[in-house]
Amino acid sequence: MKRSFTLFVLVCMVILCMVGCNKANYGSLKGLQIFVTNGKGDVSVQRSTLETPRSVGVAGVQWEPKNIKIGINKVWFPDHDTYFALAGNSALLKDRTQLPTTGFFKPIQQYTEVNASAITPMRIDVFPEYGMTYYGVLVDVVFYEFEMEDFSLRWYGQDYSSYHARDVLIKKPGETTWKYPYYHRASNGTLTFVILDGRQETKSTEYLKDAVNGSANTEDCYISIVHDGIGDGPDGIPDRFAPYLDPLLIAGGGKDLSDPSLIEIFPRDKNEAQYYLLQMDLGMRCDPVYHPNNGLGIEPMITTSLTGVQSLDYTQFMHIINENLDPSSTLSDPNNKYEDGKPIYTSIVPVGAGLDTRFGWMDFDNQLQGGFSPNAGW
């Protein structure tokens, strides 16, 4: 009788263990963490910002920032109706004053500066609603900042504080104050690069030309260091600032906005997430094989023996600009795209592969799941 009872107890214990092994570990959500990175990969690993090129002999130069910072105003997760209202009306995403204020989970809804190279997560105090499904992510970026070898550049995509959308700022070596770089065009057509203490009204890059609207161009004016594409016609250079001016609605799940990525939140009684994790990747990491144009975009470049990924200091930066401005330079315009004997305007802009996102969670066994799972393809 004792042996039978003992065997019965052992069988019950084995069954309970088998059931327990197949049961998810549930609990209460502890938080949300948001990572902002400048190159896809394991967010737990500090990435080098001065890597060796994977391929030798790649033509051209990629100038890689030592550090990338961004200013963010919003990171919102839309619900179903809000997402498709936005996806079906692009005008709503081009006018911040028309964005709906409800129908979102809002982990970030105030101005926040983020160091995108440190890969340190932001810990968010507000939690998503249990059992909800969200559609894509709405991200609103205020500025992008590239910290180069000994100077920094910043591009504003929207008004904030005393700065305006389309403002470009520079912090020179050894200085702590942001200043305003421009091209100054004199009435006789002379073009110079200047750095000023205050903002100036600017003219379109159309005013780089000798004639505007059929008349001789005698304007004495300032012009942005980012090509605005205005007045160039269908075959002209596009507006390089355009990708940074509007809120970004990240679809992610399919080929277009009609197929958004889904962010599914566990119900309260079956919550498997100890922490939810969101990564926003800026796609600006230099890699001469997979991302041949990323980094600090300088167009046109000058003739140089450098190839692959390089750092850039202020002296080199000014050398490129001044060689292009010098009509007699033998280094400027290596692709012979510009008229001989004229100063050449150099456009300076951050270049990336767009903003990408992934969403996942850490379970109660401290394992990464969802988009952060080792098998997720990142």
pLDDT tens-digit map of 153-162: 999 999 999 9
pLDDT at 233 over 60: no
User: Of 181-195, 343-357, 360-374, which has the strongest mean pLDDT?
Assistant: 181-195
| Higher per-residue pLDDT: 237 or 247 | 247
0.85 surpassed by pTM: yes
- Using CB atoms within 10 Å of the CB of residue 199, give its burial: 0 to 12 exposed, 13 to 18 middle, 19+ buried: middle
Q: What is the pLDDT of residue 117?
A: 82
Q: Lowest mean pLDDT: which of 11-15, 84-88, 347-351?
A: 11-15
| Higher per-residue pLDDT: 50 or 246 | 246
Among 285, 315, 264, 320, which Cα is nearest to 132's?
264
Among 156, 328, 295, 308, which Cα is nearest to 225's?
156
Contact indicator for 157, 143 with CB cutoff of 8 Å: yes
pLDDT at 7 over 80: no
Tens of pLDDT, residue by residue over 169-199, are 999 999 999 999 999 999 999 999 999 999 9
Structural domain boundaries of the chain? 30-46+69-166+241-295+353-378
Report the distance separating Cα 358 and Cα 354, nearest Å: 14
* Helix (H) or strand (E) segment spanning residue 63: strand 61-63
Contact indicator for 88, 78 with CB cutoff of 8 Å: no
- pLDDT grade for 377, boundaries at 50, 70 and 90: low
Terminal CA-CA length for the chain: 59
Mean pLDDT on 276-280: 94
Tens of pLDDT, residue by residue over 284-337, are 888 777 777 889 999 999 998 888 889 999 999 999 999 999 999 999 988 888
CA angle 372, 375, 378 (to 5 degrees): 60
Over the chain, what is the mean pLDDT? Answer: 86
Q: Lowest mean pLDDT: which of 162-166, 217-221, 279-283?
A: 279-283
* Helix (H) or strand (E) segment spanning residue 94: helix 90-94
Q: Are β-strands 61-63 and 67-78 bridged in parallel, bridged antiparallel, or unpaired?
A: unpaired
Tens of pLDDT, residue by residue over 61-114, are 889 999 999 999 999 999 999 999 999 988 888 889 999 999 999 999 999 999
- pLDDT grade for 213, boundaries at 50, 70 and 90: confident
Report the distance separating Cα 289 and Cα 218, nearest Å: 45
Sign of CA dihedral 223, 227, 228, 234: positive
Write b or e for each residue in 260-287: b if 16 or more Cβ atoms lie within 10 A of its Cβ, otherwise e: bbebebbeeeebbbbbbbbbbbbbbbbb
The first and second tokens of residue 135, run together, are 């559609």
Tens of pLDDT, residue by residue over 21-70, are 445 799 999 999 999 998 766 665 433 233 333 333 334 788 999 999 99
Residues with Cβ < 8 Å from 286, sequence gap 6 or more?
A: 51, 62, 63, 64, 294, 295, 309
Q: What is the pLDDT of residue 101?
A: 94
Contact indicator for 244, 238 with CB cutoff of 8 Å: no
